[in-house]
Chain A
Amino acid sequence: MTELKLPSLDYAALAPILIMLGTALLGVLVEAFVPRRSRHVVQLTLALLAVLAALTMVVFNADDRIITAGQALAVDGPTLFLQGAILVLAAMALLLIGDRSVERGGAFVAQAAVTAESADDRRQAEGRNGLTEVYPLVTFAIGGMLIFVAANDLLTMFIALEVFSLPLYLLCALARRRRLLSQEAAMKYFLLGAYASAFFLFGVALIYGFTAGMPGRTAGVDFATINAAVTESPASPVLLFAGMALLSIGLLFKAAAAPFHVWTPDVYQGAPTPVTGFMAACTKVAAFGALLRVFHVAFVDASWDFTPVLGAIAVLTMLVGAVLAVTQTDIKRLLAYSSIANAGYLLVGVLAPSRDGLSGTMFYLVAYGFSVLAAFAVVTLVRDADGEATHLSRWAGLGRRSPFFAGLFTFILLAFAGIPLTSGFTSKFAIFGPALEEGQAWLVIAGVLTSMVLAFPYLRVVVMMWLSEPGESTPTVTVPGGLTSAALMIGVLATLVLGVAPAPLLDLAAGAAEFVR
């Protein structure tokens, strides 16, 4: 029997991942053994504590620049920065998920197996407490994301992708109201996600084939091997490029880049709003973390070849996001298209292969995550008897009804539109500046033009909120309890602070902006 040699594991460096996955397992046990009444509190506390502990470990590891677990995981500057970002944003998302003051029983269905639209369903919608299984699911997803941004070979990356995607599919189906829409969204997300995973996996196979046959090296899908293969492999480059294309499709699907964005509006609209916020903030960080590592580490020497293609995708993404946002009539779909356009901007950052480009992209991810979570937090508050009122016509005159929340939302929209003194401005600056320096002027021009188009739908909402008279059907804004308020205020404050004094976070990102290879 051949002896199996265990790779050495740096447990401290892996601690954030282990904490999240361990807590998720613990959460499953809590579901089984803790009485129903106290589950919600226990689960929420547990999840938040885990996030806090993981974040502490990330800070504790701040100086790590290592590859551990064989070649599987890299714990370096970008990993730690992005893990920190995911954890902070996930903590905010957990606050939204855990809120039960805005809607009695929370935003999640009480019994997922009840037929939608039946009498039982209506009864459960009236305020029975929501499922608490969401917390282990979210914790699993966070754990998967933490692995995803640290993954240093394609197989680990694939596993991580599945680990965080599967809970998200489920979470999407758990909305308390409009359950058919929610279930449909989950179904679509699942089918298309599986479809995209297949592309990814096929890409991995092709890349593996490409790395075979190098003198003095074994074939493999870890990034160091791929990196070496790009310049040394005797295999046909068709394998490399077909593989690269298929891989990027899998990743761009998660990042919601065109033309792989089609699922985004439907899923964002159907999913429970806190989950939408979680996806818009954290999934984006994870997906771009992986994109950055794949293209900056593994394929960096082929950058001349992939830049035109990814650049075209970036422009297409910005265009699709911006143009389609113009005619949206539902606030969640509008935010979905805005998130698509932002994926385009982020791709511009990915294509600026400098330290500044990397740090700018990471800064953008954090800034955007805070703003988008705050935006979805406001969306949860505008509601009538049937739940959230997401149709834009219902938001008319909201400024008169609730000037405070309308003011906050206006501020967030201005941030999305990139007005100075908001993080939207500084983060766009942080991305477009390096791109310009790296000679990607065409991407920057496309970015600026599409942000002008995109400003229109944002400002239309602002105008509608403030300059229209409130109608009969204008809903009121529910005054939120502590959890949602906290998430909202953190998001708004971060948007402001990162717009006024971005230097500390930019410095932090710049200090972290180097991959280990």
Chain B
Amino acid sequence: MLPLVTMQKPMDAKKGLLLLYQMLLIRRFEEKAAEQYTKAKIRGFLHLYIGEEAVAVGVIQALTDEDNVLSTYREHGHALARGIDPDVIMAEMYGKVEGCSRGRGGSMHLFDASKKFYGGNAIVASHLPIAVGMALASKKQKKTNITCCFFGEGAAAEGEFHEAMNLAALWKVPVLFVCENNLYAMGTPIEYSHSVTELEKKGAAYGIEAAAVDGMDLLAVMQAANSAVEKVRISGKPYLLVCNTYRFRAHSMFDAELYRDKNEVEEWKKRDPIPQFEQFLLQQQWITDQEIAAFEDKIEAKIEKAVAFAEAGTWEPLNQLTKFVYSEK
């Protein structure tokens, strides 16, 4: 049995404030990103995570700095929750050299190897086998770290999801598969994508323990993630955690949202994870309304700083165009 290495601490005021800060930072950062997109400061695809913050924050708080994290093209939230500086994320979205991927990736390809944050992967489900391979390497190297892989419910229809689940279970490697079920694969509702819509049931086919959790409830996600991470770390085996959630914004900035009813979106917004968690903190008397307002001010300043950093960033000289295709000798 591997020794238990965990940073999971019981919820207290300090931790509660940190998690609220992370969720608010993600929310406001993305609102600013959308604004900068309309000003054409950010181009390409921009996929917002707004509404789903409790998933990234609730799961990543359960990991150690040694654990690997992989995400999708909707990964700003995961990158921020992992502790990547908003300055370098904004600069990356601008395409500046100071970005966390030197501007080569943009919004969909945020990387920070020092934080073991491995993207930012934009081919749906293609990072799942990579996650399994990282966990295989950990096992071969007798390390105690685990690999946490976020993906959407759309990915669960890909062959690579099934191959990765089978390989992870077959090889008994420590991967936490986190399925963020936001109900739409771009514009296709889950009932048109999956014959079985309770996605946690897919674990059984591979002998992988699985659970589903309300992804709009940070406390519930935390509890489920803490338990899942501990199981993966102790057993060395994979686990599937399905977080049922909802994105409040369009799939991308090009999406006219013809496929869903505005009332549906409004209904889900009543379950917004941020006010829910603020209520919890207020009830616990761990925070006051004034402190929340002060928090917002602090975050606004942080985001303004990130925008200024990105604006001041530099463009990669053209003579470096072909860098990073092969390793330099």
A and B assemble together: no
Q: Which residues of A contact B (CB under 8 A)?
A: none
